[in-house]
Amino acid sequence: MKNWVTEAHQDESITALKKLVSIPSINTGNGKTYPPFGQAIADCLAEALSICETLGMKTYSDPEGFYGYADYGQGEELVAVLCHLDVVPEGDVNLWDTPPFGAVIKDEKLIGRGSQDDKGPTIAALYGFKAVVDEGAIFKKRIRFVFGTDEETLWRCMEHYNAKEEQPTMGFVPDSSFPVTYAEKGLLQVKLIGPGSSDITLACGDAFNIVPGRAEFQGKDANLVHEKLTKIGVAQTFDGNLITVNGKAVHASVADQGVNAINQLAKGLVHIHPHPTVNFLAEKVGDETNGLSIFGEIKDEMTGELTFNVASLSINEKKSEIELDLRIPVSFPIEDLVKILKEVIEPYGLEYCEFDRVAGLYVPKEDELVQTLMAIYQSKTNDLTQPLTSGGATYARTMQNMVAFGSRFPTSESLAHQSNEGISLDELFQAMDIYAETIFQLCCE
């Protein structure tokens, strides 16, 4: 297979990626007023479509602001590349070595929120496309880059797209790992609502899909809470009034690789300030990231065990609330787990409130699309890693005949949703070349 990517493509891609990363496209909207997810996301969508126009593509922006797309080529069949432009919050800026939206190149990495999830992979696919066009290849099928704006929350962008637009024949999502992800766990995100408290006030955590790396407690009997946390070995800092529990933030799909600061705080807080939400976390979660004490063992051979993340905890005088993110093995019905969870929380006086539910994805490894992408990846890398399953949820599950394909390599450091998120330039360019070959084989041969 040929090497598609030139130095010019590399230079242009870096410039484009810097533009996207510099836009803080965090969801700040309610999905009901225009722009639905905030001005920054609208600006990022406009910039992405502008980049596509410079690459020779015809663009369309949804008048309601939910999505955009860029088309090229001709033919009856449509190959789609599904990308997203929204990002999770930057978290504690003090943990970043460079500004989160500075798009700084350091140590051969481009660092910034969204560089790995999903703006870097998006640019890799776009400039892989550009490399094919620059070679003069004839597109026998149309290609469409679809840009979503609500992936990190409720995927309302894709609901709007699917309701209004043409469905692709096939395609891929550059928002996972190489080689091909052929199965993705189901997703369930819920809120557990409980009573308020006049004794404690808490507001910990960020997005559903982030394992919280920091949790703070300030108030009554802070010194006693600190003493208890110290006794049970919880990492923390204490200035005489404010306790800061230090964990490790990671993506919720790999919660076992992080340290949940909220869970750690609850283990000490329950002894000094017992409360239904705190009691639930201390007694039914603890250090577990698989929901074992709630559900028993939930595991299958294909996609492994359930992943359970306590994403946030808030308590005030009026109410308390826990946010949970569950990644469910594909062979387990989500409704069965909902029933169990409701039964477990009832004695704690907690109310179940569902935020989001997305069915899993399964495409057989023998499928032609999977086999084609695998052959491309293996030929380009000499890596014989077999197709993957994932706890992450990608847009692949929103359409038929779609799989996740890259752009992280098996040796890549996974930095999505973490401080100092960055993408290696060498890996960016390697992914770009793989995507070029993929687009050529899917659209031109």
Q: Which CATH class is domain 7-185+361-443?
A: alpha beta
Q: Which amino acid is at 136?
A: G
Q: What is the dihedral of CA 364, 157, 40, 69, to 10 degrees?
A: 70
308/298 Cα distance (integer angstroms): 11
**pLDDT (tens digit per residue) in 47-100:** 999 999 999 999 999 999 999 999 999 999 999 999 999 999 998 899 999 999
Distance CA 154, CA 357 (A): 9
Q: Which one of 154-163, 212-221, 387-396 scores highest in mean pLDDT?
A: 154-163
Secondary structure of 200-237 in the HEC alphabet? Answer: CCEEEECCCCECCCEEEEECCCHHHHHHHHHHCCCCEE
φ, ψ of residue 153 in degrees (nearest 5): -125, -95
pLDDT at 240 over 90: no
Burial (CB count <10 Å: 0-12, 13-18, 19+), residue 309: buried
Q: Which ranges in the chain are annotated with CATH 3.40.630.10? A: 7-185+361-443
Residues 6+ away with beta carbon under 8 Å from 375: none
Tokens of 278: 């705190």
CB distance 16 to 127 below 8 Å: yes
**241 backbone dihedrals φ, ψ, rounded to 5°:** -145, -40
pLDDT of 219: 84
pLDDT-based confidence at 207, cuts 50/70/90?
confident
CATH 3.30.70.360 positions along the chain are: 186-358
Packing angle between helix 7-21 and helix 425-443, nearest 10 degrees? 110
Burial of 379 (0-12, 13-18, 19+ CB in 10 A): exposed
Pull the structure tokens for residue 374.
């695998």
How far apart are alpha carbons 72 and 429 in whole angstroms? 22
For 74, other C-beta atoms within 10 Å of its C-beta total: 10
For the domain spanning 186-358, the CATH number is 3.30.70.360
Report phi then psi at 404, rounded to 5.
-85, 140
pLDDT band at 206, cuts 50/70/90?
Answer: confident
Locate 416 and state its tokens.
Answer: 């999505």
In sequence order, which residues have a C-beta less than 8 Å from that of residue 428 and are 6 or more positions away? Answer: 13, 17, 110, 120, 123, 124, 407
pLDDT digits (tens, 9 = 90+) for 317-348: 999 999 999 999 999 999 999 999 999 999 99
